[in-house]
Amino acid sequence: MNPKIDEFLGRAQRWQKEMAQLRKIVLGCGLDEELKWGKPCYTFEGKNVVVIQGFKDYCALLFIKGYLVSDPAGILVKTGPNTRVGRQARFTDIKEIGKVADALKGCIKEAIEVERKPAGRGKVGVVVAAKGGVKGPVKGGVKGAPRGGKVAVKKKVANAGGRVKKKAAKA
């Protein structure tokens, strides 16, 4: 346990119990604990996996690459209407965390596996044609796309997990 996180939780004016419970769950999954961006951040082999966040109306566990994590329990939500990458599990009460603890652990373990995979292997993120280059997460880049060039979505293809990925081609 990182003393900087102990200090952070001690200073927190809201969601202290909830954030402490999320911390316990995350540390139980074997992640390393650091303070980044003024928030408790949990890493695997130096790669950011999840961040504990406190907001006015809720506290959250942010999955950095949440778009790559399957969510059978339906606990992850987009952080905003234009979000492409991150997903949050949001809570307003410590009891809510207890009810979905097993699902949270499953999501965390899957997020660790996402980081364990070598770059360029795995699911492809969202690709949007845009002037000036690729927008949105693209794990390992888009084959054949010029750096800073235009990329257009060519077709959707379902992978073995049933998720849809988009193949891209030069625009």
- Mean pLDDT for back-to-back runs of 10 residues, the chain (171 residues): 89 93 95 94 95 95 94 92 91 95 95 82 42 46 48 44 50 46
Specify the pLDDT at position 84: 85
Give me the domains of the chain, ranges plus CATH numbers.
3-116 (3.90.1150.200), 119-171 (no CATH)
Specify the pLDDT at position 157: 43
Q: Is residue 167 within 8 Å of residue 124, measured between CB atoms?
A: yes
Which residues contact residue 50 at a Cβ distance below 8 angstroms, ignoring those fewer than 6 apart? 26, 31, 41, 42, 61, 62, 63, 64, 108, 111
